[in-house]
Structure 1
Amino acid sequence: MHHGSCLCGAVRFDVAGDLPPPDACHCTKCRKHSGHFFASTEVKKNRLTLHGGEHLRWFASSEKVRRGFCGVCGSSLFFDPPHRDWIGVAMGAFDGPTQTHLHIHIFVADKGDYYAIADGLPQNAQ
């Protein structure tokens, strides 16, 4: 079981089982949502248990995706395509060790000009 929360603790969550390797999304929307690139792991929705859901706010960033954040402290927590059976959970929101490692960078064609990606992991332009 993996536990996580927003900065203030109003929204908490548990994820049952192992976490799939996360990706780092460098698209413009993820950068604006998170303040940098957005590293998240895709977990099956039925493995996620939410606590304090009344504090969770959703923003529809496109017709296919909504982004979840704490309405109290503003922490970016989730990337949710409602038509899919998985939800992206922000890696920075986990409370302890995750026992997983970043496996790819995506949308690197949109990355900010203020940083370099130099970790040797695969990179997809889109």
Structure 2
Amino acid sequence: MLKGSCLCGGIAWTTRATPRDSIACHCTQCRKTSGHYWSATQVPTADLEITRADTLTWYQSSPRARRGFCNTCGSSIFWQMEGEGTTSIGSGTIDGGSGLTTSEHIYCASKGDYYDIEAGPAKSA
């Protein structure tokens, strides 16, 4: 079981599902919402239990996607695409060890000019 939370503890979640490896997204929206690139794992939404949602706010970031964040500490926690039935969970919100690895970097053409992407996992435009 994985558990996670935001910085202030106003949002907490658990899942018994086996999450996919983390994917690092370098798109402009992810960089703006996180302050850098956003690394996330993913589980079926039906297998995600939000155990505390006191400070959870959803922001419709595009016509088909929304982002869940803490309205107190500002932590970016979730990303959901309409109709997919999955929820991406910020890898950095996991409490304790995760056993995950980063398997891919996406939207690399949109990355910030202040950093390089390390060699290793697959990269896509």
Is the contact made by 2:18 and 2:43 (CA closer than 8 Å) also made in structure 1? no
- Give the aligned length: 125
**TM-score scaled by structure 2?**
0.96
Task: Tell me the CA shift for residue 54 of structure 1.
Answer: 3.6
Task: Tell me the CA shift for residue 120 of structure 1.
Answer: 1.9
Tell me whether 1:30 sits opposite 2:30 in the alignment.
yes
Aligned equivalent of 2:72: 72
Identity of aligned residues (%): 39
Q: SS at the partner of 1:31?
A: helix
Task: Tell me the CA shift for residue 83 of structure 1.
Answer: 1.3
Computed over aligned residues only, the root mean square deviation of the Cα atoms, in angstroms, reads 0.9
Residues 1-126 of structure 1 correspond to what in structure 2 (within 5 A)? 1-125=1-125
Unaligned runs of 5+ in 2: none
Structure holding more strand per residue: 2
Distance 1:104 1:30 in 2: 15
Distance 2:119 2:48 in 1: 30
Task: Tell me the CA shift for residue 20 of structure 1.
Answer: 1.0
Unaligned runs of 5+ in 1: none
Is the contact made by 2:17 and 2:44 (CA closer than 8 Å) also made in structure 1? no
Post-superposition, which runs of at least 4 consecutive aligned residues in structure 1 deviate over 3 A?
none
Distance 1:116 1:11 in 2: 32
Distance 1:26 1:7 in 2: 22
